[in-house]
Amino acid sequence: MTTTTTAAGGLPMSPATPVDRARWAVLDSWTIARRDLTHWVREPTRVLSTLIFPIVFVVLFGYVFGSAMSVPGGGAYREFLMPGMFAQTMMFGIGTTMTAVIADTAAGVTDRFRSMPMAPSAVLTGRSVADLVNSVIDVAILVACGYVVGWRPHGGVAETLAAVGLLLLLRFACVWIGIYLGLLIPSVEAGGAVWGLLFPFTMIANTFVAPSQMPHWLGVLAEWNPLSSTVAATRELFGNPGLDKGSWIIEHPVSMAVVWPSVLVTVFFLLSVRRYRGLSR
């Protein structure tokens, strides 16, 4: 039984049945993911460059400025800080994904993939899978750094795994934001501006300071920052100090840590697919 159609010259085109098309898409996506993962293995400095800022921030805020910081309800500041650092690193993944996509597009790799007899979705989904796998390694390294500076998860195993899952869900949303920006921005140099914007966006949140300790207008912005929901949810699940009181969004962090990334994935997945289809051949 034939499961694929062929073009003139015998080149394979799309599989004939929905099941075959789904299998084709999964296999092609995994091929792209392996290609992207291989680049990370051969260039380990990329991993180190991604993690250097969180480690520097832990030293600066945990040891240099930590003595001047107060935690709502009391508690050790470094235990308050580490969930914020975990989530901030996931958010910085926007720039990592964006840069990789821009580099592939500028080098003509993306156009070459589009000209091949492969599932159209594979380039984007493969990238998202590879970046998510890399993020698991990032979280493991950051957790190890947290143990070195005295951070500990005080919740049960289920709560700890749920907190890690929320961090990876945020990263997955950031992957699709990065993919869309990478397809939209024409050069790595222009993408540097996005890196600059990530710093204020991740700091106007509850990453380093509770929103209740900020000026009111800034505190409101910090409360509604999607990053804040993930940070607050992981603090709650890890059993770390710093749970704040106030508006509804502050008091329902776990729910919002699921809602925000889900909305972002939906929006930027659709935008990415539309942009990818509109690229010039």
Three-state secondary structure call for residue 13: strand
pLDDT the model gives residue 87: 94
- Which segment of 117-131, 169-183, 197-211 scores lowest on mean pLDDT? 117-131
Residues 6+ away with beta carbon under 8 Å from 86: 139, 142, 143, 146, 167, 234
Helix (H) or strand (E) holding 109: helix 109-115
List residues bridging with 15 in a β-sheet: 4
Residue 124 pLDDT > 80: yes
pLDDT the model gives residue 10: 42
Question: How many separate helices (H) and strands (E) can be counted in the chain?
Answer: 11, 2
pLDDT the model gives residue 3: 46
pLDDT band at 2 (very low <50, low <70, confident <90, very high): very low
When the pLDDT of each residue in the chain is averaged and rounded to a whole number, the result is 84
pTM for the whole structure: 0.87
Residue 16 pLDDT > 70: no
Better pLDDT: 69 or 85: 85
In this predicted model, what pLDDT tens digit does every residue of 62-71 receive, in sequence order? Answer: 777 776 777 8
- Tell me what the mean pLDDT of segment 177-204 comes to: 88
pLDDT band at 109 (very low <50, low <70, confident <90, very high): confident
